Amino acid sequence: MPQTYDLILRHGTVVTPNGRERADIAVRDGRIAVIGDLGSAAAAEEMDLRGLTILPGVIDTQVHFREPGLEHKEDLASGTAGAAQGGVVAIFEMPNTKPSTTTADAINDKLARARGRAWVDHAFFIGASADNIPRLAEWERLPGCAGIKIFMGSSTGSLLVADDETLAAVLAQGSRRVAVHCEDEGRLTERKHLADEAGHPRAHDHWRDVETALMASKRLVALAEKAHRRVHILHVTTAEEMAFLANHKDLATVETTPQHLTLAAPECYERLGAYAQMNPPIRGIHHRDALWAAISNGVVDVLGSDHAPHTREEKDKPYPQSPSGMTGVQTLVPIMLDHVKQGRLTLERLVDLTSAGPARIYNIAGKGRIAVGYDADFTVVDMKAERTITNDWIESRCGWTPFDGKRVTGWPVATIVRGRAVMRDGQLLGNPLGEPIRFQESL
């Protein structure tokens, strides 16, 4: 008697741990049941993916969805809708939102807000501060918590951890990998006058210069070595940091972003103004080339979008009053598929950076690869599709992308989360079904 499944994906090219292969995939109870030739097997639903490529579900481990419940701001509903439209099956949200996520109650509130509103699976970071250090080891193991996030610079209110004494105290609490924004706050303060005097975003990477980032990364690694604590350095932007971090891979993993791999100063600031403004900054071609070299030689472990939307009204303020941040969760997949098309990295390397890498770094349970027993998370892409990214396509309430008008080859055509299609051919399907991500260290 033929086996019956909930879903069968047929005739696609599947990227498994063995590489690319033509295979069918059967799903039962939200997990992958069989990979192979399924012949006459039956399912409640079947999808013919002939000519398409099935990737492990893409995981974006750095997004900021801002304030909940305000029409002109991002929230979990609009932010995760953008993720689903862009082929992203799961997101980690950062804590510098309003209200900020710095307590167990805040994590639980976020999880409650996400229920029935989030289109994709999700986890939330706890923001470290001088006030909550004694509870971090307990809170980092809460269900739905991605771990601890430290802002060494450029944060809001009490989330700033600028001095070595407080930073060391944070690293001494808990055992999970800590995610860190590395910019030296003292140097930022000393150099702020450069931004004020320039009055244009073209000064952004001069104010927040290479030394600002490198100083912080070196301080962090030295303290992490003393504490024997694993750290993850977010959105690395400089050649100097990549060279330094290559010698500290025992404790430090590394992220960069599609924006830093694609845009370059000064051209982006002249063309986009404050819409190219983010922290750490977009830098010159020399640094962009170094990021690509770090992709090639394996120093970079993961890509995160650092999705941080602001309204046009906010972005149009005079620099440096204009806020830093840009959309990215929805464009991560098409931008990077276009880089694959241009020969800058292989599709297998992209999978490692966006699926296997996040699972490995954060010990995600059941996600990150197409393998029997894993969650049935799939990012289905058309490698040959030519599309133009436009502001109109963006689900974020801010309604813009720095890549407006960019022509790309490669496009997400379906997003499948635990065996249910939440996006197909540009249309969101059914109701939001996202659930908290599970972690091996807190099962």
In the chain, what's the furthest Cα-to-Cα distance?
77
User: What is the C-alpha separation between 121 and 362, in angstroms, rounded?
Assistant: 15
**Catalytic annotation, residues:** 306
Cβ–Cβ under 8 Å, residues 4 and 42: yes
Show Cβ contacts of residue 269 under 8 Å, excluding neighbours closer than 6 positions. 200, 201, 202, 204, 276, 277, 282
What's the chain look like in SS3? Answer: CCCEEEEEEEEEEEEECCEEEEEEEEEECCEEEEEECCCCCEEEEEEECCCCEEEECEEEEEECCCCCCCCCCCCHHHHHHHHHHCCEEEEEECCCCCCCCCCHHHHHHHHHHHCCCCCCEEEEEEECCCCCHHHHHHHCCCCCEEEEEEECCCCCHHHECCCHHHHHHHHCCCCCCEEEECCCHHHHHHHHHHHHHHCCHHHHHHHCCHHHHHHHHHHHHHHHHHHCCCEEECCCCCHHHHHHHCCCCCCEEEEECHHHHHCCECHHHHHHHHHHCCCCCCCEHHHHHHHHHHHHCCCCCEECCCECCCCHHHHCCCCCCCCCCECCCCCHHHHHHHHHHCCCCCHHHHHHHHHHHHHHHHCECCCCCCCCCCECCEEEEEEEEEEECCHHHCCCCCCCCCCCCCEEEEEEEEEEECCEEEEECCEECCCCCCCECCEHHHC
